[in-house]
Amino acid sequence: MPKKLIYILLLNLATAAGLCVTAQLLLIVPGLMPGFNFVRFAINFAVAYPCACLIGWLVPAERLGLAANGALHTKPGTLPFRLVMNLSINLIFTVLMSAVMTALNVLVLEGGTLPMFLGSYAGSLIPMYLASCLVSWVAEPPAGRAAARLAGG
């Protein structure tokens, strides 16, 4: 199995789970949901994980990160380079994943309307972006190491 695919599969376990937990917290904190719902988490994860993997495989978000790093003249292997890559990739990732997951939750599971979807999407985008950046920042190094070992290099 290619190293990139292994990396995407491993990294998105953490990312999808983190976004599913964040989505529930966005409902629990304002009192729109009484507490954590494991069934809801499982439904969301069952959709989020394959979507996240597809986005990671098909969307060339790394190009945005490399372009941003080039514009900022950061050097590969440095903390600023890693930070710019993380922020850039997660910008694309979060915009796409939030659209899919908000559609699932608001339109499909709750039977909401397009205005409800748009309001929920707009209101959750920044917290989901921050959560995605945090989770991927923590999960990326071990996922990269594990992918290298599993791919044989």
Give me the amino acid identity at 100.
V
Token representation of residue 72: 């900022």
pLDDT tens per residue across span 67-111: 999 999 999 999 999 999 999 999 999 999 999 999 999 999 989
pLDDT tens per residue across span 111-137: 999 999 999 999 999 999 999 999 999
Mean pLDDT of 134-149: 95
Please give the backbone phi and psi of residue 110, each rounded to the nearest 5 degrees, phi first: -100, -10
Q: Which helix (H) or strand (E) holds 101?
A: helix 79-102
- Residue 150 predicted with pLDDT over 80: yes
Global pTM reads 0.91
What DSSP assignment string belongs to 24-37? HHHHHTTTSSSS--
Query: Are 133 and 86 within 8 A, CB to CB?
Result: yes
According to the model, what pLDDT value does residue 152 have? 84
Mean pLDDT of 5-14: 95
